[in-house]
């Protein structure tokens, strides 16, 4: 494959998770076809360092993200605060609820997981037997993934990955497991404009729609653009 065949732009449907034609299958997950080779190299380097780097999550569709969103909004799935403590949805206004959900879950149409360039990873061989991965920061800061997390921070740049949620910028909470292939994801973020997101959400069955659309510009700046630099 030559460089000229690399897909640096996605269609609106691909960008917002409504079609999966830009993806290839990799170990039971879907990845952007032009990110897969770098990911394979990263997995190999991790293996050489003694870590069985596996995907906890890769591509996620618009419909799946919509289901997660609506379930949180409607109290079917728990909403957590920044310290992973349960919030009581009845004590929150609609706008407070939207902000609380967006600390941990993207708006459908705006998840970087739609692109196939961003994935959640862990070291399977560091997970104690019988323990399920929670994707909570403590696991990577002081828990069973801590050693792997140090390795990941030191080594992903060689493969052109980085951690967009490495620090808390008062938008999305810290996600030390979420890595992004920046040669593709940086131009894609520019492609995902507030206007495109507005038209996508207007046409959807999202819970809290009118408040989301009214506040979309500020939600966009606080959670979508407000990420760490490469």
As measured in angstroms, the least distance from the Cβ of 142 to Zn ion is: 20
Give contact residues for Zn ion (rule: CB under 5 A).
120, 178
Residue number closest to Zn ion, CB atom: 178
Q: How far apart are CA 128 and CA 146, in angstroms?
A: 13
CB of 57 to Zn ion, least distance (A): 6
Between the CA atoms of 138, 146, 32 and 114, what dihedral angle is there, to the nearest 10 degrees?
0
Rank residues 58 and 207 by Cβ distance to Zn ion and give the closer one. 58
Minimum separation from the CB atom of position 222 to Zn ion (A)? 18
Alpha carbon distance 65, 60 (integer Å): 7
In angstroms, the CA 84 to CA 95 distance is: 19
Instruction: For Zn ion, give the closer residue by CB, 34 or 120.
Output: 120
Contacts of 57 by beta carbon, 8 Å cutoff, 6+ apart: 29, 113, 119, 120
Beta carbon of residue 104, minimum distance to Zn ion (angstroms, whole number): 10
Least distance between Zn ion and beta carbon 106 (Å): 8
> In the complex, what is the shortest distance from the CB of residue 91 to Zn ion, in angstroms, rounded to a whole number?
28
- Residue whose C-alpha is closest to residue 185's, from 120, 119, 115, 121: 115
Neighbours of 97 (CB within 10 A): 21
SS (H, E, C) 65-81: HHHHHHHHHCCCCCCEC
What is the Cα–Cα distance from 187 to 32, expressed in whole angstroms?
A: 14
**CB-count burial class (<10 Å; 0-12, 13-18, 19+) for 40:** middle
């Amino acid at each position: 494959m030559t460089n000229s065949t690399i897909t640096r732009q996605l269609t609106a449907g691909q960008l917002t998770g409504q079609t999966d034609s830009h993806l290839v299958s990799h170990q039971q997950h879907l990845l952007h076809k032009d990110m897969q080779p770098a990911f394979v190299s990263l997995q190999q380097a991790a293996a050489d360092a003694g870590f069985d780097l596996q995907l906890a999550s890769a591509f996620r569709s618009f419909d799946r993200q919509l289901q997660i969103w609506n379930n949180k909004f409607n109290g079917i799935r728990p909403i957590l605060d920044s310290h992973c403590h349960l919030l009581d949805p009845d004590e929150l206004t609609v706008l407070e609820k939207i902000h609380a959900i967006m600390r941990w879950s993207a708006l459908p149409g705006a998840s970087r997981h739609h692109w196939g360039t961003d994935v959640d990873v862990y070291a399977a061989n560091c997970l104690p037997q019988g323990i399920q991965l929670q994707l909570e920061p403590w696991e990577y800061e002081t828990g069973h993934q801590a050693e792997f997390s140090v390795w990941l921070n030191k080594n992903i740049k060689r493969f052109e990955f980085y951690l967009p949620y490495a620090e808390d910028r008062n938008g999305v909470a810290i996600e030390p497991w979420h890595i992004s292939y920046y040669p593709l994801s940086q131009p894609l973020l520019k492609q995902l404009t507030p206007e495109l997101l507005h038209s996508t959400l207007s046409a959807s069955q999202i819970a809290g729609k009118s408040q989301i659309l009214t506040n979309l510009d500020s939600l966009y700046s606080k959670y979508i653009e407000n990420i760490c630099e490469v």
